[in-house]
């Protein structure tokens, strides 16, 4: 049995910071069951450069645990390959780095089927250098969805390497909660119990039945401590005959931008705080958590509407088992295909009220070096970047404890190997 004990640091102005320690152990049957999920999500992941590759180990480990990610297709962006190859052998080197990471996952034998696609898999008999960058990306996602459909998979995620899916539980720094706190004369750093929060939420005017239903489901997830009880896939399966899963083949998830504001050292989950108790022994797990963006970047832009979110919208998960094959195959050859609308039946534009999302995507802003090199920005854009990078509308620690669960399931040595990654 796994037990999570939570300790609280001193308040840092945004409420208290949870620091988790692991206690107890799982039986061999429990470990084996957790190691090899019987079913789960498919995934389509496109890697553009070394920054994406550096994040890959953390992205794989997190989504293997939380979704769980069972079937994954990875491709290196053809536009990056063609640009890098013109300068030398860096394109081949990037593929080699990705292959090495994926091979470690295959050898771990913990139940993720991974395919790495080459250029011809994506563009057929064409020339990679002659295909426009955007069309390359879109064609990959269309072919990847068709691949998962042909394999008999169901839900497929289409997110980037700096994005992490989680349950959209209610937090103190949700904008709607802050508004209600002020209306009720409560301090922003107060922590109402679930019954009080439900009463507060019910006072907010509902604009539609859908919004009312989704908000009620968010309350249920929060009160039921779903983060420690279910994976995303199992939750959807359990609720499959209910809304929104019954009618939404394309499910839209709102995104929240996590910025580059540094967290205080006292609030970070350090390697010497990750302790596992096994057979009466204390084992220090030497993982450099500063390299993991989910354990290092907690400050975020406004949840819900923001200038950043309004310009980019949300991300989809798609149930390809219910999508018509002709709809997916038609999109493969559609020159106007847009991955922000993966299927014709998906809503567009891809904007969704944060309050109604049952799942959300944490989008972590890259460094200036990454952003400027990827989009060929000049120094005049630096001021705009800095304004965005140092926004802090709140602090969210929801993803802080995932690595402890991951280590408990796969073991210390395997975890250290799979989580080898470079600091961005």
Residue 97's pLDDT is what? 87
Closest CA to 353 of 311, 301, 305, 302: 305
Residue 157 near residue 359 (C-beta atoms within 8 A):
no
Residue 370's pLDDT is what? 86
Residue 107's pLDDT is what? 92
34-83: pLDDT as tens digits: 556 678 999 999 998 888 999 999 999 999 999 999 999 999 875 565 45
Give the pLDDT band (50/70/90) at residue 338: low
Q: Which residue has the higher pLDDT, 13 or 405?
A: 405
Residue 48's pLDDT is what? 83
- Whether the per-residue pLDDT at 320 is higher than 90: the answer is yes
* In a domain? residue 118: no
Q: Three-class SS of residue 11?
A: coil
Closest CA to 356 of 257, 232, 203, 211: 211
| 163 phi/psi in degrees, rounded to 5 | -125, 140
Question: Considering its fold, how many domains does the chain have in total?
Answer: 1
Closest CA to 261 of 85, 93, 360, 396: 396
Give the pLDDT band (50/70/90) at residue 300: very high
Estimate the share of the chain in helix, then strand, then coil, as percent rounded to the nearest 5: 45, 20, 40
Residue 346's pLDDT is what? 85
Q: Residue 407 sits in which domain range? A: 1-35+264-296+400-411
* In a domain? residue 26: yes
Residue 179's pLDDT is what? 45
Burial of 383 (0-12, 13-18, 19+ CB in 10 A): exposed
Q: Which residue has the higher pLDDT, 339 or 417?
A: 417
Residue 269's pLDDT is what? 57
Residue 102 near residue 47 (C-beta atoms within 8 A):
no
| Side-chain-facing half-sphere of 103: CA atoms under 13 Å | 6
Q: CA geometry: angle at 30 spanning 24 and 32, to 5°?
A: 125
Query: Can you read off the two tokens belonging to residue 3?
Result: 């037990």
Closest CA to 311 of 351, 367, 343: 351
**Could you tell me how far CA 86 lies from the centroid of its own chain?**
33
- Residue-averaged pLDDT of the chain: 75
Q: Which residue has the higher pLDDT, 410 or 28?
A: 410
Residue 175's pLDDT is what? 63
Where in 209-296 does DSSP place strands (E)? 250-253, 255-258, 275-278, 281-284
- Whether the per-residue pLDDT at 17 is higher than 50: the answer is no
Rg (alpha carbons) of the chain, rounded to whole number: 21
206-217: pLDDT as tens digits: 457 888 899 999
Residue 100's pLDDT is what? 93
The Cα 65–Cα 165 span in angstroms is 11
List, in order, residues 6 or more apart from 179 with CB less than 8 Å away: 204
Q: Which residue has the higher pLDDT, 120 or 40?
A: 40
218-233: pLDDT as tens digits: 999 999 999 888 999 9
71-81: pLDDT as tens digits: 999 998 755 65
Share of the chain above pLDDT 90, in %: 34
Long-range Cβ pairs for the range 187-196 (8 Å, 24+): 188/15, 189/11, 189/13, 189/14, 189/15, 191/15, 191/16, 194/219, 194/222, 194/223
Stretch 199-207: mean pLDDT: 43
Q: In what order do the strands lie in the sheet with 163-167?
A: 163-167, 359-364, 255-258, 299-300, 394-395
Q: Which of 143-152, 193-202, 204-213 has the lowest mean pLDDT?
A: 193-202
Residue 178's pLDDT is what? 46
101-110: pLDDT as tens digits: 999 999 998 9
Residue 253's pLDDT is what? 94
Query: Can you read off the two tokens belonging to residue 151?
Result: 């394999």
- Whether the per-residue pLDDT at 8 is higher than 80: the answer is no
Residue 300 near residue 395 (C-beta atoms within 8 A):
yes
- Whether the per-residue pLDDT at 180 is higher than 60: the answer is no
The Cα 98–Cα 76 span in angstroms is 8
* In a domain? residue 289: yes
The Cα 33–Cα 389 span in angstroms is 41
- Within 10 angstroms of residue 59's Cβ, the number of other Cβ atoms is 23
Residue 327's pLDDT is what? 85
Share of the chain above pLDDT 70, in %: 65
109: left (phi over 0), alpha (psi -120 to 50) or beta: left
Stretch 321-346: mean pLDDT: 79
* In a domain? residue 31: yes
Residue 121's pLDDT is what? 64
Task: Give, in order, the Cα–Cα distances in Å from 382 to each of 181, 260, 308, 371.
Answer: 36, 14, 16, 10
245-269: pLDDT as tens digits: 999 999 999 999 999 998 776 556 5
Secondary element (H or E) of residue 19:
strand 18-24
Residue 65's pLDDT is what? 95
410-419: pLDDT as tens digits: 888 888 889 9
353-371: pLDDT as tens digits: 888 899 999 999 999 988 8
The Cα 16–Cα 267 span in angstroms is 9
CA torsion angle 150 151 154 158 (round to 10): -80
Closest CA to 250 of 333, 348, 148, 326: 348
Tokens 């540094």 belong to which residue? Answer: 262
Residue 276's pLDDT is what? 47
Closest CA to 41 of 64, 58, 57: 64
């Amino acid at each position: 049995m796994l037990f999570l004990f939570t300790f609280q640091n001193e308040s840092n102005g945004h409420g208290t910071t949870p620091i988790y320690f692991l206690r107890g152990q799982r039986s061999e049957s429990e470990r084996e069951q957790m190691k090899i999920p019987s079913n789960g999500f498919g995934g389509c992941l496109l890697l553009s450069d070394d920054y994406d590759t550096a994040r890959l180990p953390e992205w794989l480990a997190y989504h293997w645990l939380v979704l769980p990610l069972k079937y994954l297709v990875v491709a290196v962006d053809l536009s990056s390959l063609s640009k890098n190859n013109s300068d030398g052998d860096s394109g081949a080197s990037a593929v080699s780095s990705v292959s090495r990471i994926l091979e470690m996952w295959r050898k771990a034998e913990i139940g993720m089927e991974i395919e790495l696609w080459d250029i011809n898999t994506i563009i057929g008999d064409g020339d990679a250098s002659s295909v426009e960058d955007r069309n390359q990306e879109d064609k990959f996602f269309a072919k990847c969805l068709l691949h998962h459909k042909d394999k008999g998979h169901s839900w497929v995620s289409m997110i980037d390497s700096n994005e992490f899916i989680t349950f959209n539980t209610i937090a103190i720094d949700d904008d709607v909660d802050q508004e209600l706190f002020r209306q009720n004369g409560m301090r922003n750093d107060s922590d109402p119990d679930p019954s009080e929060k439900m009463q507060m939420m019910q006072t907010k005017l509902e604009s539609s039945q859908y919004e009312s239903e989704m908000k009620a489901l968010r309350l249920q997830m929060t009160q039921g401590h779903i983060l420690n009880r279910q994976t995303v896939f199992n939750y959807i399966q359990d609720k499959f005959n209910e809304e929104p899963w019954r009618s939404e083949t394309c499910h839209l998830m709102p995104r929240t931008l996590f910025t580059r504001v540094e967290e205080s050292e006292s609030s970070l989950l350090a390697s010497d705080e990750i302790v596992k108790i096994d057979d009466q022994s204390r084992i220090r797990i030497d993982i450099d958590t500063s390299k993991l963006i989910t354990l290092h970047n907690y400050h975020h832009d406004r949840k819900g509407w923001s200038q950043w979110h309004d310009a980019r919208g949300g991300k989809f998960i798609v149930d390809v088992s219910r999508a018509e094959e002709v709809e997916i195959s038609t999109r493969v050859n559609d020159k106007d295909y847009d991955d922000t609308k993966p299927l014709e039946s998906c809503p567009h534009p891809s904007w969704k009220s944060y309050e109604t999302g049952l799942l959300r995507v944490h989008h972590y802003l890259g460094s200036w070096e990454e952003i400027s090199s990827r989009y060929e920005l000049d120094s005049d854009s630096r001021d705009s970047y800095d304004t965005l990078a140092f926004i802090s509308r709140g602090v969210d620690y929801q993803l802080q404890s995932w690595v402890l669960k991951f280590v408990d399931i796969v073991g210390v040595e395997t975890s250290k190997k799979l989580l080898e990654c470079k600091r961005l």
